[in-house]
Each structure stands twice: as structure tokens, then as C-alpha cells.
Structure 1
Amino acid sequence: MTVDLNSRYGLNPAHSEVVEACQIIEPCDTLDMGCSNGRNAVYLGQLGFNVTAIDANPSAINMLENIINEEGMTNIKAEVYDINHASLGVNYGFIACTVTLMFLGPARVDAVIANIQERTLPGGYNLIVCAMSTEQYPCPVSFPFTLNAGQLREDYEGWELIKYNEDVGTMHNGAQLQFATMLARKPSQLN
């Protein structure tokens, strides 16, 4: 039984969708986009994934680096990186982007998603969870970006959608809003 490092370091538990995805995704080179202080990266690292954790917040990255050093976790790298740049230079088997897109510049989201897709290895996975704003459920939080109904599904046309929903959920601060949740597998070869 592994020690729960998330609770040891006062991190929130890993996102439920990351935990669920790990039931089908074998440990591989993984990117945690918008990692904050590392709740998903630490969880994935404990499962044997080789994780690159990126976030624009240097103090969050410092906090994660302290945990990595304290625990001697050589399979996690933490880097300060502005996701808006959409210039990932390495390919991954799994890219997780949970509750991150809504903090990006709206004009950059298409480029970021295209970059994520390009940098996913054939047969690899993308996990995205993002707030939505729809007529039925206008977003109560003033995020810079929200998805429209069906937008994420359209962006991933041609990929195998292992999970896709646009359900109403509750944020950690209690706000009720609609989220698009998607786990998609990149085709092994293009037709």
C-alpha cells in the first residue's frame, strides 16, 4: 500500500477523472497541464507514470519541487510554463488538462488544443475537464474562457471518445456549473 502523499503534503486528492483514467491507461510519459501544486502529478508519479508537470505559477511549481525532492521522486519534473504559448516540444502518451483551459486566453485555446493533439503519441490519451457556459447553464464564474455545448467533441472528431459528457457539477468552492469531461484516445494511425 502506497503512502497517500497528497494528504501528507496537504494537497487535494487527485482529480476524480485522473483517478478513473488510470484504470485504463498504463504508466507512460505524461503531461499534467496546469498542475498547480501537483495533486495529479504526485498521484500519477506514485503509480509509476513519468510526469512532466507544468504551470504558469512559480510558487506552485516550487511547492511541487519541494515534494519531489523530499520524496526523491525522480519520475516527476516540474516546470514553469505558460500554456497559452501552445509550444509543447515533446510527445506524451497521456496529457491531462483538468480545470485548466478556462484560465487561458480565449484566443489561444484552439492553438493549445491543437498543440495537445499534435504532441499526443498515436494511441495516446487526452483527458480534458473544462467549464462550460450554455444557455441552460450560464457559467456563474467569470472565467476568461468557457466551452460551448458540443465544442470539445467537435475538436476531437476522429479520436475515440472513451468518455464524454457535459454534466452539471460542483467546483471545490461550491459553485454549480456545467463541465465538459472527455477522455479521448488518438488513433494509432491516420487513415
Structure 2
Amino acid sequence: MEPFWERAYLDDEVETFGKPSQEVIDVSIQLNENSKILDLGCGDGRHAIYLARLGHLVDAIDISTAGIDKINRVKKKLNLKNLNASVGDATKFEFNCTYDLIISHGLFHFIERNNWSNIIERMKEGTQKGGYNIIVVFTDEVEIPEDLKPYVKGIFHEGEIKKIYFDWSIEMYRSYQFEDEHDNNIRHCHAVNKIVAKNV
């Protein structure tokens, strides 16, 4: 069975996961011009495209070919030469430079726990002093929706992500539940932890 987002990625008019999240907008205001940004698990680019349009230098990585193809179509349309979008597995991503901001928005619960733990440590090491990490994950406070169970492999415990960033400045942390409905009338209820942390 193919996940619902793969079909949505084929339509350039569909915002699969909505507009850029407020925490990404808020952090973008704090960044210097031409900041170096990594969007790890970028989907179809709601954050990567927004940040590139602000003039930042954005690397966008996702395992979905359809998602990356969609970003590159939009990139061409908007002439975003500062956006580099490529198909890649986050578990194998090599941090060959340091970034001012690294985003992982809704990725890690799809990765085995031992793998995402390693990636987060590499994210921290790959962030400049004064730089930010933004991470959003599903937690085990509610049952995983049936259609997502085949894909969710590394669910977080409530508050776990905050403990991982104990040695950084926690700029924002939220724990909440929400319901959403996607274009194919699939409804989900999620428990979420969201963190913005600064490398001080």
C-alpha cells in the first residue's frame, strides 16, 4: 500500500502538509542573510521552498522521488538557484558542512529508534554555534492511525526529544494532540512533540 502523501506529491497545486509551520517562520526571522539550511525529510518542500524564497541556501533531502521531483518543478518555476533538492535516505546522509538551521519535521517516527538517535546526534554536531534545530515527532500518547502503522517504526516517548536537547537552549517546546484530514478523506489523530533548540 502506498502512503497518501505519494499521490499528493504528484499534484503541484496540492499543499500536502499545509503552509510552512509557525516555528519555522519564527526562526527564519532570527537567521542572518544567506544562512545555510538543511531540511531533512523535506517532503514536497513546504519549508525548503519558503526558506529558499527568503534567499537562504537550502539543502532539501527526502527519500520520496515524487516529493523531490515536485520541489524541483517548483524550483524551476520560481528560479530558486539557492535550493538544492535531492533524493536521499536520512539514515545515510553525510554532514559535509555545518548548518545554521536543520529541520526535521515529521520524519523521525518513520525511522527505527537506533537510527534516528544517531541522526539527531549528527544533526547537533552539524549545527553551527548559535544555530537551530527544529524537530517535530509523533509520540506514543495516542494510538498510531491504522493506515500509518506500516510506516511508523520509531515512535517517540512523551518528552523524549526535549531530554535529547538537554545541553542546548530550548527556545520553544510544545506537547499537544491534533486531528487532521487529508485530501483523500483520511482523518488522523496525532500526539506531537515539537522543539526549537539553539546550539549555545
Please give the range of the TM-score, normalised by the shorter of the 2 chains.
Answer: 0.7 to 0.9
Q: Which residue of 1 aligns with 2:62?
A: 55
> Matches of residues 62-101 of structure 1 in structure 2 within 5 Å?
62-101=69-108
TM-score (norm. length: structure 1): 0.85
1:161 aligned to 2:174?
no
How far apart in 2 are the matches of 1:172 and 1:125?
30
How far apart in 2 are the matches of 1:177 and 1:39?
20
| Aligned-partner residue type, residue 168 of structure 1 | Q
Match of 1:177 among 177, 180, 190: 190
| Cα deviation digits, residues 11-61 of structure 1 (max 9, x gap) | 332233322332333441000111111111111111121110000112221
SS in 2 for 1:93: strand
The number of aligned residues is 178
How far apart in 1 are the matches of 2:66 and 2:55?
25
> Matches of residues 1-191 of structure 1 in structure 2 within 5 Å?
9-11=13-15, 12-27=18-33, 28-134=35-141, 137-140=142-145, 141-142=148-149, 143-173=152-182, 174-187=187-200
How far apart in 2 are the matches of 1:47 and 1:80?
23
Identity of aligned residues (%): 22
TM-score (norm. length: structure 2): 0.81
Post-superposition offset of 1:150: 1.9
Which shifted more, 98-107 or 18-27?
18-27
**CA 1:149–1:100 in structure 2 vs 1: closer, same or farther (change >3 Å)?**
same
| Cα deviation digits, residues 126-165 of structure 1 (max 9, x gap) | 000110003xx34344211211022111111110000012
SS in 2 for 1:23: helix
| Aligned-partner residue type, residue 176 of structure 1 | C
Runs of at least 5 residues in structure 1 that lack an aligned partner in the other structure: 1-7
SS in 1 for 2:30: coil
| Aligned-partner residue type, residue 158 of structure 1 | D
| Aligned-partner residue type, residue 162 of structure 2 | R
RMSD: 1.8
